[in-house]
Amino acid sequence: MELTYLRTFCEVAASGSYTRAAENLGYAQSSITAQIAKLEELYGAKLLERSGRGMAPTFAGRTLLGYAHHILALVGEAKEAVSEGHSGELAIGSIETLAAYFLPHRLHRYRSAYPGIRLRVVPGSEPDIIASVRNNTADFGLIFDKPCTLDELNTLALSQEELFVVVPPGHHLAERKSADFAMLAGEKLVLTEESCTYRNHLLHALRERGISPRIELELGNLEGIKQAVRHEWGVAYLPGYTIKDEVEKGELKAVPLAAGGGLGFQIQLVYRKDRWLSPSQRRFIETMEGRSPE
């Protein structure tokens, strides 16, 4: 039973709420409360306390949380080893664009080969994804960034993707074969959230050229950004894989940057170097690389 209590404790700590933890785990809220109480009795310490953002681990709780993640990861690896990886859960941290545009058809292909594996995709920022892979709360992470080296983690480049200046069809840049960053001086910008790697790449490139970015709107949702550009609220800077359909339909125009300014970013898969990989996890990597599982 202690494993169940530890799993419940990790879920409450992650969600910050007994209610959300109960929904995610399929328990009654009273059961969640009782399990946490039994765990606190077992360890002789207060593990959770109410904070401004909901329930948060105490000092003792933060200490236990690291051990709990490690214990649950070891249990999962043992289960994978015994079952040869044909059942269990695969947790994937992913930035929003990849969760929406890169993962779905690959996960469908993987799921057809491993129907017994429950897939859990957790959207987040790149720092959050890397942290979740490091602490074993995610098996794999998908990020979009320039090639990077991360301590303790393998980084596998899956594909290189170009970034484009995205404008409505009637915009003065729409028919250009290419543009440069200087042409964005004075343009109203519709940008992703502050943690986005390619947003930061654009702002850095503009400031390097002495251009003060004119940020008109910030949205955490890609569909919202594309709608804003359609309504001529500003121009965006997005990976080509996120706007393929709209460009083909003529709803948006994608203008490449001159001199390869929009190149260099890669879709990358990250996972722990010390992770034991089951056959199903190795197949997952192959599927992400574009190789179909047998």
Residue ranges of E strands in the chain = 48-51, 54-57, 88-94, 117-123, 140-145, 153-161, 163-167, 188-191, 214-218, 236-239, 253-256, 265-272
CB 285 within 8 A of CB 142: no
CA atoms in the 13 A half-sphere facing the CB of 151: 2
* CA dist., res. 119 & res. 284, Å (int): 11
Cα–Cα distance for residue pair 16/61, rounded to 1 Å? 13
Q: For 87-161+264-293, CATH number?
A: 3.40.190.10
| Cβ-proximal residues to 278 (8 Å cutoff; 6+ apart), any chain | 77, 80, 81, 84, 85
* Tokens read off for 266: 């890669």
Neighbours of 158 (CB within 10 A): 18
Mean pLDDT rounded to a whole number for the chain = 90
Q: Cβ distance 238 to 222 under 8 Å?
A: yes
**What's the fold here for domain 163-256?**
D-Maltodextrin-Binding Protein; domain 2 (3.40.190)
Looking up tokens 């991360």 gives 150
85 pLDDT above the threshold of 70: no
Q: Which residues are CB-contacts of 47 (< 8 A; sequence separation ≥ 6)?
A: 9, 36, 39, 40, 57, 58, 60, 61, 64
What is the model's pLDDT at position 63? 94
Q: How confident is the model at residue 51 (pLDDT cuts 50, 70, 90)?
A: confident
Inter-residue contact 46 to 60 (CB < 8 Å): yes
Domain segments of the chain: what residues?
Answer: 1-83, 87-161+264-293, 163-256
Phi, psi of 60 (to 5 degrees): -65, -40
Task: Answer yes or no: is pLDDT of 27 > 70.
Answer: yes
CA–CA separation, 110 and 149 (whole Å): 27
Lowest mean pLDDT segment, chosen from 77-86, 110-119, 217-226, 252-261: 77-86
> How far is CA 256 from each of CA 42, 105, 203, 216, 237, rounded to the nearest angstrom?
60, 26, 17, 22, 10
Beta-carbon contacts of residue 89 (< 8 Å; ≥ 6 apart): 76, 117, 118, 119, 120
Report d(CA 12, CA 60) in Å as an integer.
15
Cβ-based neighbours of 187, under 8 Å, separated by 6 or more: 214, 234, 235
Q: Which CATH number fits domain 1-83: 3.30.1550.10, 1.10.10.10, 3.30.300.130, 3.40.50.300?
A: 1.10.10.10
Residue, of 2 and 58, whose pLDDT is higher: 58
pLDDT digits (tens, 9 = 90+) for 102-123: 999 999 999 998 888 889 999 8
What per-residue confidence (pLDDT) applies to 149?
Answer: 86
- In this prediction, residue 151 has a pLDDT band, given cuts at 50, 70 and 90, of confident
pTM over 0.85: no
**Residue 294 has what pLDDT?**
47
Give me the pLDDT at residue 253, please.
96
Is 163-256 the same fold as 87-161+264-293? yes
pLDDT of amino acid 260: 82
Condensed to tens digits (0 to 9), the pLDDT of residues 166-209 reads: 999 999 999 999 999 999 999 999 999 888 999 999 999 999 99
Given pLDDT bands bounded at 50, 70 and 90, which one contains residue 262?
confident
Residues 6+ positions from 261 with CB-CB distance below 8 Å: 180, 181, 205
Q: What is the mean pLDDT of residues 75-89?
A: 70
Closest residue by Cα to residue 252 from 294, 190, 204 = 190
Q: 293: pLDDT confidence band, cut at 50, 70 and 90?
A: very low
Confidence of residue 280 (pLDDT cuts 50, 70, 90): confident
Q: Which residues contact 201 (CB under 8 A, 6 or more apart)?
A: 146, 163, 265
| Chain-centroid distance, C-alpha 138 | 10
